[in-house]
Amino acid sequence: MTVPLIDPFQRPISYLRVSVTDRCDFRCVYCMSENMTFLPKKELLTLEELDRMCSTFVRLGVEKLRITGGEPLVRREIMTFFRSMTRHLESGALKELTLTTNGSQLERFADDLYAAGVRRVNISLDTLDEEKFADITRWGRLPQVLRGIDAAQKAGLRVKINTVALKGFNEDELVTLTEWCASRDMDLTWIEVMPMGDIGNEDRLGQYWKLDDLRQSYAQQYTLSDLPENTGGPARYVRLEETGQKIGFITPLTHNFCESCNRVRLTCTGELFMCLGQEDNADLRGALRNHPGNDAPLEEAIRGAIRLKPKGHDFDYSRQSVDGRVSRHMSHTGG
């Protein structure tokens, strides 16, 4: 039996997030600059290489695979990859195949995703105001995303909305977003903005809305009950008794969620980041490409990387500066 992946702090690694492209059809102001320079296509892993890479991780004990980007559904022929992963669901080795998306392409792909075995999707949506949506995404169109959400639910996909908490932008929509999600039987998770990459003239510190404050706003409107469940990600959950829905909080800045981390992130170029908030990474592309037909060097490279997984990250806004910043964009590492 293959020895599972265990990091130096005795945490089993069972969750892989894979960025299949750094490209996106939006330019969200907290994620990337408007005039991005994307990676040359030759540097990206091919779909066949992504299959081999992910299959190796599954063989080593990864049970949850989340596909991210950029926007994963803008990658050409991406459904070929999803369909290839279906065999791991059918064998039982993979317990869940899912993705995080901006929703722009779901109207086209929702049915195909369900057919490939996807049952849940996370959709990034920061406002229900069409003008504000256009401002924050720069290139995005809210009606297109809403049609994508309709298509996802019609296809049978369980939808969770991910909303980045942005001071002065969506503070006034807390109740509106919550009630809208409740009316559609969708859970909602709020995320603190993270200090990743150069985003041009945007003020990262000025965007920061502390989720402790956001939770207090909820408590003024609803009755909150803490939930013990953990879906394998970094969110902590409460239930709103008035609506019955689940609200998540991802708080990498005000509360370190690293003690139970079971995740690593693979970039579209084959770099493995053992921690979202650290620069250290391992290049797996060489082990993959230099040994066609032999996965042993790739397995050893993966195990070597996991042995370097740190205890936690260093994001910190407490000193009125963006400490613990990492240089890469979130679209490169994967959301």
Q: Is 100 marked within a binding site?
A: yes
d(CA 264, CA 298): 16
24 is in an annotated binding site: yes
Residues 101, 104: Cα–Cα separation, whole Å = 8
Residue 264 counted as an annotated binding residue: yes
The response to whether 132 counts as a known ligand-binding position is: no
257 burial class (0-12, 13-18, 19+ CB within 10 angstroms)? Answer: middle
Q: How many helices (H) and strands (E) does the chain have?
A: 11, 12
Tell whether residue 181 is among the known ligand binding residues.
Answer: no
Residue 83 sits at φ, ψ, to 5 deg, of -65, -35
Q: Is 223 assigned to a binding site?
A: no
Rounded Cα distance, 293 and 3, in Å? 21
Tokens of 148: 């994508």
Q: Does the annotation place 58 within a ligand binding site?
A: no
Nearest to 82 by CA among 109, 43, 122: 109
Q: Is 311 annotated as a binding residue?
A: no
To the question of whether residue 141 is assigned a binding role by annotation, the answer is no
Confirm or deny that 265 is annotated as ligand binding. Answer: yes
98 marked ligand binding residue: no
Q: Check whether 268 is labelled as a binding-site residue.
A: no
Q: Would the annotation count 17 as a binding residue? A: yes
Q: Is 31 annotated as a binding residue?
A: yes
DSSP string of 50-90, one letter each residue: HHHHHHHHHHTT--EEEEESS-GGGSTTHHHHHHHHHHHHH
Distance (Å) of CA 194 to CA 103, 173, 203: 21, 20, 12
Query: Is 70 one of the annotated binding-site residues?
Result: yes
Q: Which residues are annotated as a binding site?
A: 17, 24, 28, 30-31, 66, 70, 100, 124, 160, 194, 258, 261, 263-265, 275
Q: Which residues are annotated as a binding site for GTP?
A: 17, 66, 100, 160, 263-265
Q: Which residues are annotated as a binding site for [4Fe-4S] cluster?
A: 24, 28, 31, 258, 261, 275
Q: Which residues are annotated as a binding site for S-adenosyl-L-methionine?
A: 30, 70, 124, 194
